[in-house]
Amino acid sequence: MRFGFNFWLGAGLTVLVILAGILAPWIAPFDPVLDADLMSSELPPDATFWFGTDAQGRDVYTRILYGAQISLTVGIVSQVINSMIGITLGMTAGYWGGWWDDLVNGLTNVMLAIPSLIFALAVMAVLGPGLPSLLIALGLTNWSWTCRIARSSTLSLKSQGYVQAAQTLGYGDLRIMFTQILPNMMGPILVMATLGMGSAVLSEAALSFLGLGIQPPFPSWGSMLTDARQLIQLAPWVAIFPGLAIFLSVLGFNLLGDGLRDSLDPHMRTRKP
Amino acid sequence: MLRFTLRRILQVIPTVVVVALLIFVIFSVVPGTFAASLFADGKRAADPQMIARLNEEFGLNKPLMERFVTYVTDLAQFDLGTSFRTRQPVIDLINDRMGASLQLAIAAMVFALVVGVPLGFLAALRPGSVLDTVTMIGAVSGLSMPQFWLGLLMMYLFALQLNWLPSFGYGDGSFRNLILPAVTLGVTPLALLARTTRAGVLDVLNADFIRTAHSKGMSEMKVVRWHVARNALVLIVTTVGLQFGSLIGQAVVIEKLFAWPGIGSLLVDSVAIRDIPVVQGTILVIVLWFLLINTAVDLIYAAIDPRIKQE
């Protein structure tokens, strides 16, 4: 399998975000929440505060490093939930067919009819703000495409010789699904999950920006932008750096996902002369 | 065509009904808490008497089945309930703000189409050129960027630094107020349209019938106009339809950022104070709009490409 330049750029950016999140407690010069000092608020970037300080005098660079932890948690956990729901529903629907298939199909269509950010907002309205509700909201939002892919892959894999052999040997339905079918459709699902991480990070940022996601003082990149509109004239760095962090990490996930897709499926490779 | 149109429109109804049910279920899983959280101010618990009064007034203490029946009968009469906060009918609140939202959504989509489609087209006709490379880098960046952040930066540059445009608000509804929010909201569909148009045009250019058209001596201009544009159009229309959903979702954030008085900011404000009837009603109206747009797209699609109807 060969990977293009975009894939490696995406992988590099993703690794950078992961390292930032893991190493934050060691490489961050300050504490993300406690080192607030109104005497040093809204300082422009300099040698001590690389990305400047915010309205409470906290170091923006430190908070961005810690923010990577939240973004990664949101991206990974929400996509694990999404994939589990999508795989389970799609695979069983494709394998068993019948009324169950109709039901899953109907549910998928309904989910696709609700814009995903709106659905997440509704769930947040019920559960209230905070990280756990955010993980649930975003985990329940984006499984419909995964479900569709799982269903159609199952439909085509069902008639393969090795699946029929397993049926003849008397394997149970679930055993066939998880040992024979699932491993053969992991590629496209992995692609969906990688691209989904990008949109989950964007949704988290948007919800936190609206004040409905991660609550201050916790350093989420989105919540760091909440008061940026008021501050932007005086301290533009408060707005620029967290947004840049979101942009680069989402760019990383997207390039990684696109690159994975291109190398898994040569037909979908973008034609380049 | 008429039968197809009717069938497609009738298909919307069950989806709306199921979405309405889903919304009811979501907001009923934690009964009673809404009244409590509506009055709680974070410091002290809400006054039990106030909660009881609100529960009484809105029938929140009735059994779930009874509330469900009321909800459905009200919905059937286009009654979306009454706001907890303002005591106004939800439908009036939504009607007041619908115009501004539609204005913004349409302006954003038009901007995306007018810029994105030609860019994708030109990029595909000259693959590997500077324009192609720049367009594709721009597209993947546009898809990875938090829109509200781009909006913030544009607000900083064009409103606060250069003073060309108003920084936020609806103002007197003039075009100048619309520019920044519409451009911000249009960036993601623009990026996606540029990308799909390019891919679609490239696909068509490699098709057999294009070679046939060339070999029978059709001029380049004519080939592009007759065959390429027409076939790429199907893809573009589909993308527009699909993108409307995420555009409506994103509009919520952009309306809030630019203090735009649409249903998006109504939704966010209502979620923040947990004014559930307004949240429910707004979401239902948004979904209805999205479904209507998708139906319209399907119909246009069928008109462009006769093969669709037979399915």
- A36 touching B (Cβ < 8 Å): no
Tens digit of pLDDT for each residue in A36-76? Answer: 677 777 767 776 767 777 777 777 788 888 888 888 999 99
Stretch among A137-141, A148-152, B86-90 having the lowest mean pLDDT: B86-90
Residue A162 confidence (pLDDT) above 50: yes
CA B166 to chain centre: 24
Pick from A107, A116, A126 the residue to mutate for testing the B interface (most B CBs within 10 Å).
A126
- A113 touching B (Cβ < 8 Å): yes
Shortest distance between the Cα of A255 and any Cα of chain B, in A, equals 8
Mean pLDDT of chain A: 83
Instruction: Report how far residue B222's alpha carbon sits from residue B206's, in angstroms, rounded to the nearest whole number.
Output: 16
Residue contact B272–A124, C-beta within 8 A: no
Instruction: Report how far residue B230's alpha carbon sits from residue A79's, in angstroms, rounded to the nearest whole number.
Output: 38
A4 lies in some domain: no
- A270 touching B (Cβ < 8 Å): yes
Q: Kindly indicate the confidence band of residue A250, based on its pLDDT and cuts at 50, 70 and 90.
A: very high
Number of independent structural domains in chain A? 1
Amino acid at A141: T
Shortest distance between the Cα of A142 and any Cα of chain B, in A, equals 12
- A226 touching B (Cβ < 8 Å): no
- A103 touching B (Cβ < 8 Å): no
- A187 touching B (Cβ < 8 Å): no
Contact A258, A10 (CB under 8 A): yes
A66 lies in some domain: yes
Assign B82 to helix, strand or coil: strand
Closest residue in A to B158 (Cα) is A233
A32 lies in some domain: no
Stretch among A248-262, B44-58, B60-74, B207-221 having the lowest mean pLDDT: B44-58
Position B307 scores a pLDDT of: 66
**What is the rounded average pLDDT of the residues A86-94?**
91
Name chain B contacts of A114, Cβ cutoff 8 Å. 19, 22, 283, 287, 290
Instruction: Say which residue, B254 or A267, is predicted with more confidence.
Output: B254
Residue contact B287–A247, C-beta within 8 A: no
Residue contact A115–B290, C-beta within 8 A: yes
Position A272 scores a pLDDT of: 40
Residue contact A273–B274, C-beta within 8 A: no
Residue of A113, A246, A273 lying closest to B19 (CB–CB): A113
Pick from A103, A104, A118, A244 the residue to mutate for testing the B interface (most B CBs within 10 Å).
A118
Counting one residue from chain A and one from chain B, the pairs whose CB atoms sit within 8 A come to: 140
CATH 3.90.1170.50 fits B102-273, yes or no: no
Residue contact B148–A247, C-beta within 8 A: no
Assign B183 to helix, strand or coil: helix
Residue contact B140–A251, C-beta within 8 A: yes
Name chain B contacts of A270, Cβ cutoff 8 Å. 199
A185 lies in some domain: yes
Pick from B149, B252, B254 the residue to mutate for testing the A interface (most A CBs within 10 Å).
B149
Rounded to 10 deg, the angle between the A237-264 and A5-27 helix axes is: 140
Residue B296 confidence (pLDDT) above 60: yes
Instruction: Report how far residue A83's alpha carbon sits from residue A186's, in angstroms, rounded to the nearest whole number.
Output: 10
A210 lies in some domain: yes
Quick one: which of B79, B83, B85 has its CA closest to B277?
Answer: B83
Shortest distance between the Cα of A24 and any Cα of chain B, in A, equals 23
Q: Kindly indicate the confidence band of residue B311, based on its pLDDT and cuts at 50, 70 and 90.
A: very low
A41 lies in some domain: no
| Residue recorded with tokens 């608000």 | B169
Contact A131, A223 (CB under 8 A): no
- Strand residue runs (E) in B144-227: none
Name chain A contacts of B201, Cβ cutoff 8 Å. none
Residue contact B160–A246, C-beta within 8 A: no
Residue contact A114–B287, C-beta within 8 A: yes
Shortest distance between the Cα of B256 and any Cα of chain A, in A, equals 8
Tens digit of pLDDT for each residue in B106-142? Answer: 899 999 999 998 898 888 888 878 888 888 888 888 8
DSSP string, A43-78: PPP-SSSTT-B-TT--BHHHHHHHHHHHHHHHHHHH
Domain limits at A237? 20-25+56-266
Instruction: Report how far residue B49's alpha carbon sits from residue B31's, in angstroms, rounded to the nearest whole number.
Output: 17
Position A147 scores a pLDDT of: 92
- A239 touching B (Cβ < 8 Å): yes
Residue A270 confidence (pLDDT) above 60: no
Position B114 scores a pLDDT of: 92
Contact A43, A52 (CB under 8 A): yes
Position B108 scores a pLDDT of: 92
Residue B292 confidence (pLDDT) above 90: no
Position A248 scores a pLDDT of: 92
Give the CATH number, domain containing residue A76. Answer: 1.10.3720.10
Instruction: Report how far residue B192's alpha carbon sits from residue B287's, in angstroms, rounded to the nearest whole number.
Output: 22
Residue contact A125–B18, C-beta within 8 A: no
Pick from B148, B248, B298 the residue to mutate for testing the A interface (most A CBs within 10 Å).
B148
Closest residue in B to A270 (Cα) is B199
Position A269 scores a pLDDT of: 46
Position A117 scores a pLDDT of: 87
A219 lies in some domain: yes
Shortest distance between the Cα of A224 and any Cα of chain B, in A, equals 11
A35 lies in some domain: no
